[in-house]
Amino acid sequence: MSEENEPITRIITPVHVEYTYTPGVASERFLRGVREGKLLGGACDACGRVYVPSRGACPRCAAPTSEFRELSDKGTVITFCVVRVPAENIDVELPYCTASILLDGADISFTGLIQGCPFEEVRIGMRVQAVWKPEAEWDFSIGNIQHFEPNSEADVPFEDIKEYS
Amino acid sequence: MAEHAAVIGVGQTDFDAKREDVSQVGLIREAAERALADAELDWADIDAVVVGKAPDMFEGVMMPELFLAEALGGVGKPMLRVHTAGSVGGSTAIVAASLVQSGVHERVLTVAYEKQSESNAMWALSIKMPFTPIMVAGAGGFFAPLIRGYMERSGAPEDTGIRVALKDRLNALKNPLAHLKLPDVNFEMIQNSPMLWDPVRYLETCPSSDGACALVIGNEKHARAASAPPAWIHATNMKTEPTMFAGRDQVMPKAGLECAAGLYKKAGIQDPRKEIDCAEIYVPFSWFEPMWMENLHFAPINEGWKMTYEGATALDGDLPVNMSGGVLSTNAIGASGMVRFAEAAMQVRGQAGEHQIDGAKKALGHAYGGGSQYFSMWIVADQPLQ
């Protein structure tokens, strides 16, 4: 069969989507904070649990998170994963380690890259500290945190963080 | 529930990485025609159509139900589209069942599908978010950390996942429709396959498939008139929870625990492990078998891995799980939940061929989706619920 007569089974039509994003009151506070190198959490009016970033409400209580608190940029690894498979949208060199990190003072985990130690040493309960980009590069983005790296503090026992896993 | 409802027709397409011989329209048509043939019905016999699939970006075609009406015989009839992420195949069947149980319709055709080769599911699940660098690499990137959390809590032996994968891959060899078949599969092959999302290995992961599944659900009158045995729907249940909230147990979601408890209550089941003969559950990564054994109350918390380890979930075990080879062998995402529901129905109809469990009278179909946040389940049996 000549090429002309071959059935067309597939054509590629790229999709491009552009968003105009309205962050809302709570996210705006968070983004203005992160622009200044601060991590602001929102505490639930009903249960007091602290969300970071806060969306302005606690899904658990359906209550607003009115009070903003500055949180530490240190935290504890709740769980993690070493990614060895490429994804088109992710521009981090393979392999890399992502972790759910419970920042001190928060009640919900935060996703971050772990660097500064071999992957074999990453473990649940490990204490980590944010490494920020140079201040001149800070923007309204969580990307201001380059990654987290281990600090020298003692591991947190699993029992103490189990409820966040 | 006003009316008894039963599965009176089952149709699955052939599954493959790329079904280039058919369009999306042709794919769903293939499943629907097979279900109608199995039910010995024609398009004119169908009162309503319910179609489901996972996120539209999985093919890059928005609202595909708009162009599926003709192919599904939906013109001039009620037609609904359902979406609950990966659990959608299950919830679509449940919506169809409810249209019959409520007495609104007598015979409903329901179809769920995915044609993943037309886009890139990993890309679609890793869309860039404003103000947040993206790090979670597709479904594996989301679920692998939860698996690590389960390993830590339960202290399960490290090879539990490999054992699940080996069982399901051997089961797939008995299922003529399964997509991924590895005739030489063994423990070492799985163990030595590359780590994709550590601790998840390549062969502990589901493939990406094109395929569709269809069911015809009829009321009692039509179920009794059918020449093939019906699968009577004893109970259905769905539950949802937010993806993230403080104190959420992501490993053992409350929505799943409550969905299963509610399902058994509706079906009059006191001891699920004893009363259910076999189960088709949504296991896209091997470790989700032990996790869901606990979530479905078949095993105490942190002990689900023992069922896998002791062979309880094997074809000759006391609760065979994923006799078809499961999601690990065939994963056209939107269809996968309905395939679980369909395979459960096939078991109690005695229709499962080489992967049939002898004398299966009561079976569970299960699906979950999103960030372990949507659950849909049903119980089917060879006799109507008394």
Interface test with A, best of B116, B134, B135, B291 (most A CBs within 10 A): B135
Task: Tell me, yes or no, whether A28 and A105 share the same domain.
Answer: no
Residues A62 and A102 in one domain: no
Q: What is the pLDDT of residue A1?
A: 53
Residues 6+ apart with CB under 8 A from A110: A52, A75, A100, A101, A102, A103
Residue A96 within any structural domain of the chain: yes
- Residue B124: closest CA among chain A residues belongs to which residue? A89
Number of domains composing chain A: 2
pLDDT of residue A4: 80
Number of neighbours of residue B14 by Cβ within 10 angstroms: 18
What's the pTM? 0.96
Helix/strand/coil for B314: coil
Does residue A162 fall inside a structural domain?
Answer: yes
Same domain, A102 and A83: yes
- Under the banding of pLDDT at 50, 70 and 90, the label for residue B23 is very high
Percent of chain B with pLDDT over 70: 100
C-alpha of B348 from chain center: 16
Q: Is pLDDT of B383 > 70? A: yes
Q: Would the CB atoms of A15 and B20 count as touching at under 8 Å?
A: no
Q: Which residues of B touch A96 (CB under 8 A)?
A: 135
Asked if residue A107 is part of any domain, the answer here is: yes
Six-digit token pair at B156?
């399960």
- Whether residue A102 is contained in a domain is answered as yes
Last residue of one domain, picked from the residues A45, A71, A97: A71
Residue B1's pLDDT band (cuts 50, 70, 90)? low
Sign for the CA dihedral angle at A92, A98, A100, A104 comes to: negative
Q: Tell me the average confidence (pLDDT) per consecutive run of 10 residues in chain A, 165 residues long.
A: 78 83 91 96 97 93 96 97 84 90 95 95 97 96 95 94 83
Residue B375 has pLDDT above 60, yes or no: yes
Q: Do A58 and B245 touch (CB under 8 A)?
A: yes
Residue where a domain stops, chosen among A71, A92, A108? A71
Q: Does A60 share its domain with A85?
A: no
CA distance A47 to A67: 12
Lowest mean pLDDT among B122-126, B287-291, B308-312, B327-331: B122-126
CA distances from B67 to B23, B48, B72 (A): 12, 16, 10
What's the pLDDT score for residue A165? 76
Predicted local distance difference test score (pLDDT) of residue A48: 96
Read off the pLDDT of residues B311-358 as tens digits, 9 standing for 90 and up.
999 999 999 999 999 999 999 999 999 999 999 999 999 999 999 999
Q: Cα separations (Å) of B163 from A113, B294, B316, B344? A: 31, 17, 15, 22
Residue A44 sits in the same domain as residue A78: no
Q: B377: which 2 tokens? A: 């389940």
CB < 8 Å to A35, chain B:
none
Q: Can you give the pLDDT at residue B126? A: 77
A65 with A135, same domain: the answer is: no
Claim to verify: residue A84 and residue A111 sit in the same structural domain? yes
Q: Is A34 inside any structural domain?
A: yes
Instruction: Determine the pLDDT at residue A2.
Output: 64
- Measured between CB atoms, which of A9, A79, A85 is closest to B137? A85
Cβ distance A79 to B135 less than 8 Å, yes or no, reads: no
What confidence score (pLDDT) does residue B124 get? 83
State the smallest CA–CA distance between residue B324 and chain A in angstroms.
28
Q: Is residue A1 part of a domain?
A: no
- Same domain, residue pair A115 and A50: no
| Structural domains of chain B, with CATH | 5-119+207-225 (3.40.47.10)
User: Can you spell out the DSSP letters for B343-382?
Assistant: HHHHHHHT--GGGPPTT--EEEEEEEETTTTEEEEEEEES
B195 has pLDDT over 80: yes
Q: What is the pLDDT of residue B134?
A: 76
Interval B1-27 mean pLDDT? 94
Domain that holds residue A26: 20-71
In this prediction, residue B157 carries a pLDDT of 97
Mean pLDDT, rounded, of chain B: 96
- Condensed to tens digits (0 to 9), the pLDDT of residues B137-167 reads 788 889 999 999 999 999 999 999 999 999 9
Please give, rounded to a whole number of angstroms, the shortest distance from the CA of B247 to a CA of chain A: 6
For residues A157 and A94, membership in a common domain is answered with: yes
Contacts of A45 (CB under 8 A, 6+ apart): A58, A61, A63, A64, A65, A66, A67
Asked if the structure places residue A48 within a domain, the reply is yes
Q: Which of A21, A79, A102 is the best mutation test for B, with the most CBs of B within 10 A?
A: A79
The first and second tokens of residue B60, run together, are 């890059």
Residue A24 C-alpha, separation from nearest chain B C-alpha, in angstroms: 13
Same-domain pairing of A65 and A123: no
Residues of A in contact with B152 (CB under 8 A): 79, 124, 158, 165
Question: Which of the listed residues A29, A48, A71 is the one where a domain comes to its end?
Answer: A71
Pair (A109, A145) in one structural domain: yes
CA distance B69 to A106: 49
CB contact under 8 A, A84 and B130: no
Residue A148 belongs to domain with CATH number? 2.40.50
Inter-chain touch B60–A15, beta carbons under 8 Å = yes
Same domain, yes or no, for A145 and A93?
yes
In a domain, A86, yes or no: yes
pLDDT at B133 over 90: no
Instruction: Say whether B127 and A158 touch across the interface (CB within 8 A).
Output: no
Phi, psi of B243 (to 5 degrees): -65, -40
Q: Quote the crossing angle between the two packed helices B138-154 and B288-295, to the nearest 10°.
A: 70
Work out whether the CA dihedral A145, A150, A154, A155 comes out positive or negative. Answer: positive
